[in-house]
Each structure stands twice: as C-alpha cells, then as structure tokens.
Structure 1
C-alpha cells in the first residue's frame, strides 16, 4: 500500500487561521523558527489520531489572540486529501466548542468540545473514523514509518521486539541443522525452557560443588577416627583375668546379701514380738482405765442425781415466774381492750340519743302542703294524709333508734360482765401459779441442802496410775520388751567397697573388649573412606557433565543471538544493531542498540540519525507493506538523504521566511 498526501488544510488550528498545503512527492516547507512548520505535522497527526507529532493528546489546538489568550467560539478544522494506491480519500476532523446556557442564567458557559469526523464527506462517529484510519495505517506503524527518529525513541525492549518480528522465528531445527551438536542439548531440555534448564543446571552445579567441598574433610575425619591396631591374644588373656576377678566380686556381694537378708528376717521377728507385747500392755491398761471410771461414777452417782434435780427445779421455777408475768400482762391488755369497747359504746349511745331527740322534734314541712306542679296548697284531706304518712315515718325512725339503743345498752352490760369474769379468772390462775412457786421454792431449798451436805463427804477411789503400777503382768511384759530391744542391736553388712571394686573391674573389662573391635572399626573406616572417594569421583563426573550442558546452552544462546543479529543487520543498508550485551561471567543478556559505522545512535549528529532513521523506515515499510509520507524536521541540517520510495516532506528552517513557504 502506497499512501501520499495531496493536500492538507488547516482552519483555526493552533497559530494557523487558514492555510492549505499542496504536496508533491518531495515537498519543501520553509519557515523561520516558530513560524508553524511543525504545526503542519501536528495537524496531520491530529487529523488521523487526535494527537500531535510528539504523541501528546492533551495539546491545545485552539488559536491564540495577540495577547496569548485562547480565542473562544472557534471551530478548529483539519482536512486532507490522501492518495491511497492511486485512489483519493478525503478526510476531515472538526473540533467544536459546546456552550450551554443554564436555566435562569443570562450568559452561556463553555461545557466542553465535540468532535466531528468525515470520511469522503460522509459523517462518521469517532470509532468508525479510527477504524478506517487503522485499516489504512495503524498508529504504531504510522509512527515507525513516518518519523525517522521514532524507532530509536522507544524503549530498547520495544525496538528489539520489532526487529525480532522482522527477523522471524529462529527455530531449533534451523540451529541444529547448522550446529548438529546442539541436538543433545535440546533432547536434555525435557520440556523446559532454556532459561529454566540453565537455572536447574546452575542449581545442580552449586549443590555438587558444595558436596564435593565437604568430602575431603569427611575423608580426613574418617582417617583420624581409625584406632591403632592391637594384639588380640594379649587382650583376650587380660579379659579372662578381669572376668574371673569380676565373677569373684559378684559372688562375694551375693553372699553378703544373703547374710544381710537373714539378719533382717531375725530383726523383723523380734520387732513383731515387741509389737505384740506392747499391744497386750495397752489392753491391760485399757481394762484398768475402764474399772477406774466405773468406780468414780459409782461414788458420785447420788450427788449427780441431786444436782440434776436441782437444775430441773430451778428451770421450773423460772418458767413459773415467767408465766406469772405473762398472765399479768395479758390480763392488763384484756381489761384495756374491754374498757376501750365500753367507751366506744357510750359514745355511740350519746350520738344515738342526740339523733332520737332530733327526729322526735321533727314536724311536717309547710312546703310539703303545696303542690310541686301547680304551686297551689293541697286540699284538707290531702294534707291530713300527708301528716299521717309523715307521722308513720317518724314513728318507724324513732322505733329503729330505740332498738339500736337497746342493743348498745346490752353490749355495754356485756362488757361490764366480761370485766368481772376476766378479773375472777385472773385471780384464780394467779393464785394457782403462786402456790406452785411456793412449792417449787421449798423443794429447791431441800435439794440444795442435800447437795451441800454431799460436798462435805469424802469418797476414796484407787487411781488409774496406781492400778497400772501394781499390775505384775504389765511389769513382766515390760521387762520382756527390754530384753527383746537389746536383741535389735546389730552390725550392718557393708559391701560398698566390693561394689566400687566391681565397677572398676567392669570398666576395665569393657575397655579391653572394645579393643577387640579395633579391627572391625578400622575396616569400617576404610570402607567409608573408599565410599567417599567413589562418591567424589561420581560427583566430579556429574559436575563435568553439567558444565558440558551449561556450555552447550551458552553455545545455543550464542548461536541464536548471532543468527538473530545477522538476520536483522542483513536487512539494513546503514543501520546496524547490537542485540546482545556480553557479561563479566562470559554470558550474554538481551539488549538493543542502534549503531552507524560503529557509533551508537545517541551519539550521532542529526544527519546521521536521519540517515539511519530513513534506512529503518525503508526496511519497516517493506515489512509492513505500507509506504507513507516521511516527515523530516530540521531538514536544513542534512545535505543528502538516502533514496526512499516514500513521499518526503522536508521541514526546513529559513530565517528569511517569516511566513510559511511551500516549494
């Protein structure tokens, strides 16, 4: 696909009010600094992608007035006619300001921008417009093939990715075809990536080296642990001698143990006899204690009974005295209640008499002789009838009052009778209690006299201690216990020295027996040393194998990197690329550095950078199958540019051209 710009029109775009550029295959645009040359490139990128030529999306496209203030209420428009494979396409991008007047407000306010897009004069939305642009030329490809400096402005990883895409896949079959010895490495990968394989080899190498470093020390340790050889005949003779001595000591200890056990049995028998005698003495003493207690109780039995009787009489006396006090208090309370009732009845009788006098003096009310409905006085016969009724009511009320009065008088007489009865009953009960008190006091005095007389009598009872001391059986048994206790005295059997000597002989015996293991120990040590040496040899072989694999992996990477660089560099005329950086340890790591004649791109002058950039664009255009206009800023610094199939737009600084000039 070949894309050419035929015309580009800018209206109110940045510092340009209205300007149209007609492009040729090679177009030179002259102008002083800040005259708008770059604005043309910005307009083209804004038309296609909504960004300026430096990839900024938020740059200001609105024109400024002489004071530098943005001019409002303007439409910003860029349109172009492109020729794509001989066919013209007209595209247009317009930015319009949106001014909104809120309800109640007099002045409209700016509320944002809206963008309008046209493709061959047909309105399309933003998504459709961008899709059509991408069908022509995706944005990332556009940047790569229209700006000579863009490729090298990317991160090295992105540059390397583009170049790797150019070179195509470098397959394992390709490498093994060129280097057959690499097939063994590929077989060893076993599904791992080369990076994983190298990491495993490195880890295995480290483990082997660590283990190999330990083996010499372990061999030396085994050598130093080998004992000196011994004369087995001499050792066996010494063992027999020590064993006989050990057996003799063992028998001596057994004999002394038997004698000691026999003596212990005798002592235990004596101790049992002593225990039995003491138990018999305790039983005799218990019998004496019981007899003594019985005799004492018998001597004091009469006195104790009198004392108990005295206590009983004293308790009864106090009880009777309390009963008398309670009787007197209860009698006083009863009389008080009756007197209170009498007073209440008298008060009610007085009230009743007053009411009787009032009712008895009551006469017919004159108002009752007048009709309540008409207000006229009743007839004589009616008045007589009213008087009769009145008298009857009065009679009944007086009769009722008399009945109540009679009842109250009866109650009053009853209360008087209750007082008399209460006093009589009180005197009877009081007299009985007083009589009982006199009798109790007499009995109490009689018993007290008897107890006092008993205190002066003396009763002689043999003491418990005397009874025990006079008992011959106890004396005999105590003497027997003394004899038996003398038999408990014995000399303990001491065989501590024998045990110490036995332990010493046993230790010597073990030492001699261990000497017999010397040959076996030496043989085991020699075997272990040989195992360690064999292990060392095996590990050394394994380490060599791993180093061989590591070398093969490095060779694989080197071959692949060389092939990649050769392929990439073979595609360019001027530009060369360094895709791998050597490391101190002999390895390599990926990178991407563009050079020209051995000079890094960053150190080239402007002419060199544009030369290399156009070379890169030519290769990328061929790869992507798209040729697009190349914009060369600061073209005045370059005398000659390489031949290219792309349309070239030169932006040239010309101090004599204050306004843009297209040639």
Structure 2
C-alpha cells in the first residue's frame, strides 16, 4: 500500500492562520524556530489520528492572541489530499466550539469542542472516520513508518517485541535441532512455552534456596533439645508403682446396704407422689368454685366500666345541650326586641324633599316612596318572625333531647348501684370459700402420709449404716490416686527419652532434605542455564532474520553479564557504534531512516516520512528513500519556506 501526501490546507490551526502547501516526492520545509514547521506535521497527524506528531493525544490546537489567550469563535480546519494506491483521498477535519446561551443569561457559555469529519466530501461520524483510516493503515504502523523518532522512543523491551513481531517466528523444534545439548528440553517445550518453563524454574530456585538457607538453623534448634539422661531408675520405679496399684483392694463390701438405700428413696418418692395426687383431686372442686365467683366479679367490673363511661358521656352531652338552649333563648329574646324596633319605625323626616333642590317630591313619587318603605318594613318583620319560629323550634327540640338523656342517666346510676351491691356480695362469698381442701379426715390421705413417715425413718437408718462403708471406700480411692499421680510423674520423665529419639530422627530428616534441596538447586540451575543458551540461540537466529532487513544498522539484542549470563537489550549499532551513546546526530538520522525503510518494507507500505531537525545532515548524505520524504529544517528564513524537488 502506497500513500502520498499531495496537498494540505490549514486554517486557524495552532499558530497557522491560513496556509496551503503542495507536496512532491521530496519536499523541504524550512524556517526559523517557531515558523510553523512542526505545525504542518502536527496538522497531518491530528487529521488522521487526533494526536500530534509525537503521539500525544492531549495538545492545544486553538490559536492564541498576543497575551496567549485562546481566540474563540473561529473554526479550526485541516484538509489533506492523498494519493492512496493511485486513488485520490480527501480528508477534512473541522473543530467547532459549542457556545450556549442559557435562559435568563445575557452571555454565552462554552460547553466544549465538536469535531466534524469528511471523507471525499461525504460527512462521517467520528467512529466511521476512525474505522476508515484504520482500514487504510493502523495508527501504530503509520507512526513507526513515518516518524523517525517513533520507533526509537520506545523502551528497549518494547522495541524487541516489535522487532520480533515483524519477522516470521521460528519454532522451538527448529532451534532444538541446531545443537544436541538442547535435546533435554524437547519434552518440556512440547508442553510449555520457554517463558513458562523459565518462570517456573526461577520460582523453584528462589523457593528452594530460601528453604535450604533455613535448614542449618532448624537442625541447630532441634539439636539443642537433645539432652542425654539415665532413665533406668525411672523405669524401675514405674514398674514398682504399677505392681502397687494392682495390689490395692477395691472395697466392694456393703453393696446390699447401698441397694437398700436406693429402694427406700424410691419408696419415699412414691408416697410423696400419692399425697400430691390426693391433694390435687381434692382441690379441683374448690378451685373451680372460686374461679366461678371470680369470673362473675370480672363481668360486673366490665359492665360497671361501660355504664360509668356511658353516664359520664350523657352528662357531658346534657351540659352541652343546656348551653345551646341558653344561647337560643338569648337569640330569641334579641329577635323579639328587633321585631319591636322594626315595627315602630316611621319614614324619616325630610325624606319627601329632594336632596339637591330641597323641594318636595311630587305626590305620585311620595306615594311610591312610602309604599316601598312599608314593603321593606313588612319584609324585615316577616324575616324576624320566621327566624323566631326557627329558634323556638330548636329550643323545644333541645329540651326534649335533654329530658331523654336525663332519664337515661338516672336509669344508668340505678343500674350502677345495683351492680356494686352484687359485686360486694360476691366478694363476701369469695372470702368464705376455702383456699385448699381440708384433708385431716381423709382416710386415704392419712394412710399415705403415715406410710411416707415410716419410709423416711427407714431411709435415715439405712443412710447411717452406709457412712462407715463410704469412709473405707474413700480411703482406697485416695490411695489409688496417690499411686497414679506418681505413675504419671514417672511417665512424664520417661517421655523425654522418646522426645530425644524423635529429635534425632528429625535431625536426620532435615539433613536428608538438605541434600535433596542442594541437588534440586543444582539440577534447576543447570536447566536455567540451558534455557538461557537455548533462548540466546533462538534470538541469534531471529536476529539474523531481523538484521537482514536493515542496510545501515545491526541490532544488538544481547549483552553478556559478569556472571556469564546474557541480559536482553535492543540497541541499534552503526559501524559497531551504539545509537544511544556513541553516534553523532548525522549518523543517528541515517540509522533512523534505515529503520523507517526496513519497517516500510516489512509492513509492505509506503507512506510520507517526516524527518525533523533535518539540518543535522547534509542533503547529499540523505539516502534514497522508496517513499515520500518531507524534511523539516531549522534555517534563518524568517517565514516558512517550502521547496519541492
């Protein structure tokens, strides 16, 4: 795939207000620092990927005024025209500010930027635009093959990964066949990767070395617990004590006395149960009679509570009705006074005179005025009379209601007095009822009580007989305890003999583990060394493939360590000189261009290469490039100068 940048139009991008640049296969852009050389490269990358020429996603593209403040309300627009495999591709990216005037505010508020995209004059969404560019060339590939600094700006480990991904990988089987010493690794490499085996072995080495370092201290700790002693005296004493324990008599006499005690205890318990059963049966009737009286008292209390509450409510209602009667009587009296006053009203003097000219009204008008006065007077008298009748009816109704309630109150009070009398009689009846039954004349109860007294007497006699037997038995128990205590002491002493034997066995186990760990460490170290040699051989073969793509540089991918091992690195060399430390700026450019050309061949692409700081090398030293080359050079030209060759 070949990409050629034909033209770019820039408006309000960073420090460039408006500029259009035509490009050829080799274009030189020159000018003093700040003239806008890097701005051109940034505009290209921003259009394609939304980043600057260094790969930074966050950078300021809005133009500034003399005080370095953003210039608002202008559109930023970059249009680039490309030739992609012979077909013209026009890309346009425009950034607009979003200004919103909120309700009630006179000023507009900035709410962010909005990017608009076009491909060949057709508007696209951001997602569609990015997908299209990704299909043409991925961002990472474009950066590596267009920017001379992009690849070398990676960490060495990342550079190695990228290089190894660029060439066809080599199988472990191919490397195994290069040297017979690698054959022991064949079985493991068939199941696991090189990295998995190496990681496992290094972990095992670390763990085994740590365990091996701990063993001497563990052996020393166990050895300190081995203290030699003579255990023959303790063993002889233990045997004597065991013989004594076997010879101690276990006094089992007087067993019949203990059996008699148990029988008498059962007999006493049986008689007590019989007495309780008789008492329970006799008390059942008494309990029921008392409970019946108590239930009646409870019922009376509940009825009293209800009646007292009802009488209280009725009395309160009577009081309210009397207040209403008094109020209505007062109102009726006032209506009577109002009626008398209205009845006595006459037309006011001077009502027949005109208030303006002070002359009498005509007779016809005076008649009408009197008729109107009399009619209004009759209307008011009728209204007062009607209200008086209504109030009188209310008084009559309230008095009737009060009389009814007073009768119910009297009836309730009579019922309350009667219930209180009934309750008092029931309480007297309850006090006369016995709490428990009188069994002093119950022959069955008296017989059981007599039997209980006899059984308790016999039990006490039997208990006295067993006291002597208990004393003899306790003496035997104490003697056996003393002998057993001494036997336990001897066993504790003799347990040290087994502890020492166990300690000696543990020391031998630790020494065997020490020998095994030492051998495991040696075997693992041998395998790690072989793995490193295998990896070196594999990387050397890969290095040959990688270096075959480069003309100026060779990649140094390993560095020998003091301990004989190899440290992975990724350093380009030019004539044996390291890029990072020994090359001058001109040779660094040659190395970077060689990397660019090799990557373009490997990726099978041809895209424009932006060579920044091109003043570091003479034009005649710039190698021939199979792609478009755009050089950015610092010169004394005060304005940006574009030269197409």
Structure-2 residue corresponding to 1:635: 614
Paired with 1:64 and 1:203, the residues of 2 have a C-alpha distance of: 59
* Matching residue of 2:534: 556
Q: Does 1:652 align with 2:633?
A: yes
Q: Please name the residue that 1:624 is paired with.
A: 603
Q: 1:38 Cα shift?
A: 1.1
- Residues 37, 640 of structure 2: 8 Å contact kept: no
Structure 1 residue 614 corresponds to structure 2 residue 617: no
- Where structure 1 has 5 or more consecutive residues not aligned to the other structure, the ranges are 226-242, 244-526
> Which of these residues, 196, 200, 212, is aligned with residue 199 of structure 2?
196
- Aligned pair in 2 of structure 1 residues 197, 122: CA closer, same or farther (>3 Å)? same
- Displacement, 1:72? 2.0
Partner SS, residue 152 of structure 1: coil
Name the Cα RMSD after superposition: 4.5
Distance of aligned partners of 1:611 and 1:102 in 2 relative to their CA distance in 1, 3 Å threshold: same
Contact 1:628 1:647 in 2 (8 A): yes
Secondary structure (helix, strand or coil) at the match of 1:91 reads: strand
Aligned partner of 2:17 in structure 1 is 17
Corresponding position: 1:185 with 2:188: no
Matched, 1:594 2:575: no
Q: What is the TM-score when the length of structure 2 is the normalising length?
A: 0.51
Summarize deviations over 1:154-184 as a string: whole Å, max 9, x none: 2223212101202333321011111232121
- State the partner residue of 2:377: none
Distance in 2, Cα, partners of 1:47 & 1:534? 71
Matches within 5 A, 1:61-210: 61-187=61-187, 191=192, 193-199=196-202, 202=205, 206=209
Structure 1 residues 106 and 186: alpha-carbon distance in aligned structure 2, compared to 1, 3 A threshold: same
Provide the rounded CA distance (Å) in 1 between the counterparts of 2:141 and 2:14: 26
**8 Å CA contact retained: 1:152, 1:159:** yes
Deviation at 1:214, TM superposition (A): 9.9
Q: For residues 553 and 106 of structure 1, do their structure 2 counterparts lie closer, same or farther at Cα, with a shift above 3 Å needed?
A: closer
User: Within 1, Cα distance between the matches of 2:584 and 2:108?
Assistant: 53
CA 1:170 to 1:204, structure 2 compared with 1: closer, same or farther past 3 Å?
farther
Would the aligned equivalents of 1:629 and 1:647 in 2 still touch at CA under 8 Å? Answer: yes
Tell whether the 8 Å contact from 1:94 to 1:115 is kept in structure 2 after alignment.
yes
Corresponding residue number in structure 1 for 2:502: none
Corresponding residue SS for 1:571:
coil
Distance 1:579 1:26 in 2: 34
Secondary structure (helix, strand or coil) at the match of 2:96 reads: strand
Change (3 A) 1:615 1:215: same
User: Which residue in 2 is equivalent to 1:423?
Assistant: none
1:580 to 554, 558, 561: 558
> 2-side partners of 1:114 and 1:538: how far apart?
70
Contact 1:6 1:82 in 2 (8 A): yes
Deviation at 1:185, TM superposition (A): 2.3
Contact 2:96–2:114 (CA<8 Å) still a contact in 1? Answer: yes
1:536–1:126 Cα change, 3 Å: closer
Rounded Cα–Cα distance in structure 2 between residues aligned with 1:654 and 1:585:
51
Larger Rg: 1
- Contact 2:202-2:528 within 8 A present in 1 as well: no
Compute the displacement of 1:41 (Å). 0.7
Distance 1:111-1:196 versus aligned 2 partners, 3 A rule:
closer
Q: 1:211 to 1:606 in 2, by over 3 A?
A: closer
Distance 1:7 1:559 in 2: 49
Tell me, in whole angstroms, the C-alpha distance in 2 between the residues paired with 1:195 and 1:534: 27
Unaligned regions of 5+ residues in structure 2, if any? Answer: 229-235, 237-504
Normalising by structure 1, what TM-score? 0.49
**Residues 198/96 of structure 1: CA separation in 2 closer, same or farther (3 Å cut):** same
- Provide the rounded CA distance (Å) in 1 between the counterparts of 2:96 and 2:506: 92
TM-superposed deviation, 1:660 = 3.0
Per-residue CA deviation, residues 204-227 of structure 1 (Å, 9 max, x unaligned), is: 864896699899999x99xxx9xx
Contact 1:21 1:662 in 2 (8 A): no
CA contact (8 A) 2:212 2:514 kept: no
Check conservation: 1:149, 1:610, Cα contact below 8 A: no
Superposed, 1:360-439 pairs within 5 Å as none
In structure 1, C-alpha distance between the alignment counterparts of 2:636 and 2:170, rounded to whole Å: 52
- Contact preservation (8 Å) 2:188, 2:197: no
SS where residue 55 of structure 2 aligns?
coil
SS in 2 for 1:90: strand
Aligned length: 384
Instruction: State the SS of the aligned residue for 1:45.
Output: helix
Instruction: Trace 1:268-347 onto structure 2 (pairs within 5 A).
Output: none
How far apart in 2 are the matches of 1:105 and 1:534? 88
Shift of 1:606: 2.5
Inter-partner Cα distance in structure 2 for 1:217 and 1:107: 85
